[in-house]
């Protein structure tokens, strides 16, 4: 399969996503078979925002594939401020075989991809988190035999994570319900685009702000009510009040008949999810998702970089 970059879920085909999931499973099953796949290759990782899972899973995943990862933190400030984004891209392309970037604005990812002569991987921006969504569909495909029969709901703030899940679900043909408080839903142009994918794949894509319309679900996913970069202490009290009915807890799971709860982490316990549900060993797959970040990203790197 050929892939130039890994930037946004809506740029991927169903065949590409399924092939990445298959490859991730294969690397996870026999990592030793891939231990030299990135030998002699280096990956530059730019982080404008904090990270635990993304940083560690890329670094250790690249190491497992025999490659070398270099972490570039925030010491150089926001991309495009000290140097133009095109200059970052051109300079890093002199040394690195790929660029991984976590940025504030999707435009920065697009700028890097436009100017770099090496593949660029989006490690989260304001609009997408495709590495997370790939790991999550890998996780769902491990939990359920037939992905096409899964009903997945995302409850909470319409954000980068919900956008990526929405697109991947719609492309893969997975029924997806997005339940967000009024004024916190997805960008309407993105929703419309995802509706187009859902129509083509034959899946049901539902968007509502009405908690009673959650319906029957297999898995319920949630994420922080305030994303990195959007923190405004003066709005915190309002957000907590507005989002409280959208908390994912045992009661919501039971009503929906859901047996799996998902979270990309970091979790804000007792806000978007209860501690009891997050820690529920029967239902919570949060650490399986976290581990799968490494295998999913390894599949992306092998696809982009293997000779």
Please identify every residue annotated as catalytic.
102, 129, 132, 223, 264, 293
Please name the residue that has the structure tokens 């990135």: 38
* Alpha carbon distance 256, 219 (integer Å): 9
Return the range that interacts with ligand NVA (CB under 6 A); candidates 60-68, 91-99, 159-167, 232-240: 159-167
Least Cβ distance, residue 160 to ligand NVA (angstroms): 5
User: Shortest gap between Cβ of 258 and ligand NVA (angstroms)?
Assistant: 21
Q: Does 223 sit near ligand NVA (CB under 6 A)?
A: yes
Residues 161 and 164: their CA atoms lie apart, in Å, by 5
Q: Which two tokens stand for residue 213?
A: 């319309």
- Cα(288)–Cα(138) distance, rounded to whole angstroms? 10
DSSP H helical segments within the chain, as ranges? 14-29, 53-64, 85-95, 106-115, 130-143, 160-172, 188-201, 236-243, 250-256, 275-278, 286-305
Q: Is 264 in the site for ligand NVA (CB under 6 A)?
A: yes
Q: Residue 231: which residues within 8 A CB-CB, separation 6 or more? A: none
Pick from 93, 122, 224, 247: which binds ligand NVA (CB under 6 A)?
Answer: 224
CB under 6 A: which stretch of 5-13, 70-78, 136-144, 157-165 binds ligand NVA? Answer: 157-165
Write out the binding residues for ligand NVA, residues 36-95 only, by CB under 6 A.
Answer: none
Under 8 Å CB-to-CB from 149, ≥6 apart: which residues? none
160 near ligand NVA (CB under 6 A): yes
Burial grade of 88 (CB within 10 A; 0-12, 13-18, 19 or more): buried
Q: Per CB under 6 A, which of residues 93..152 are in contact with ligand NVA?
A: 124
- Rank residues 40 and 233 by Cβ distance to ligand NVA and give the closer one: 233
Stretch that binds ligand NVA, among 63-71, 83-91, 224-232, 296-304 (CB under 6 A): 224-232
Instruction: Report if residue 227 touches ligand NVA, rule: CB under 6 A.
Output: yes
Nearer to ligand NVA, 49 or 68 (CB): 49
Q: What does the alpha-carbon distance between residue 116 and residue 65 come to, in Å, rounded to a whole number?
A: 23
Scanning 83-91, 100-108, 137-145, 158-166 for contacts with ligand NVA by CB under 6 A, the matching segment is 158-166
Smallest CA-to-CA distance from 100 within 23, 34, 36, 47 is with: 47
3-class DSSP state for residue 93? helix
* 159: contact with ligand NVA by CB under 6 A: yes
Subset of residues 184 to 213 that bind ligand NVA, contact rule: CB under 6 A = none
Residues that bind ligand NVA (CB under 6 A): 124, 159-161, 223-224, 227-228, 264
């Amino acid at each position: 399969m050929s892939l130039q970059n890994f930037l946004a879920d809506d740029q991927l085909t169903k065949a590409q996503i399924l092939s990445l999931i298959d490859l991730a499973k294969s690397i996870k099953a026999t990592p030793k078979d891939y231990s030299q796949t990135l030998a002699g290759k280096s990956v530059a990782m730019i982080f404008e925002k904090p990270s635990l899972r993304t940083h560690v899973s890329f670094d250790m995943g690249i190491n497992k594939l025999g490659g070398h990862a270099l972490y570039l933190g925030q010491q150089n400030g926001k991309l495009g401020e000290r140097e133009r984004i095109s200059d970052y891209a051109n300079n890093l392309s002199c040394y690195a075989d790929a660029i991984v970037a976590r940025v504030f604005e999707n435009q920065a990812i697009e700028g890097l991809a436009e100017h770099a002569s090496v593949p660029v991987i989006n490690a989260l921006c304001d609009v997408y988190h495709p590495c997370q969504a790939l790991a999550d569909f890998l996780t769902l495909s491990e939990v359920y035999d037939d992905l096409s029969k899964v009903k997945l709901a995302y409850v909470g703030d319409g954000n980068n994570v919900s956008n990526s899940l929405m697109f991947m679900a719609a492309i893969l043909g997975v029924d997806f319900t997005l339940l967000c408080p009024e004024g916190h839903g997805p960008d309407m142009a993105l929703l419309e685009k995802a509706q187009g994918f859902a129509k083509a794949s034959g899946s049901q894509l539902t968007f509502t702000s009405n908690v009673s319309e959650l319906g029957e679900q297999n898995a319920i996913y949630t994420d922080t009510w305030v994303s990195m970069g959007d923190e405004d202490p003066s709005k915190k009290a309002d957000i907590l009040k507005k989002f409280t009915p959208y908390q994912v807890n045992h009661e919501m799971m039971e009503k929906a008949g859901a047996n799996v709860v998902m979270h990309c982490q970091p979790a804000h316990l007792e806000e978007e999810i209860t501690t009891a549900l997050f820690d529920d060993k029967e239902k919570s797959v949060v650490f399986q998702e976290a581990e799968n970040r490494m295998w999913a990203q390894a599949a992306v790197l092998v696809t982009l970089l293997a000779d």
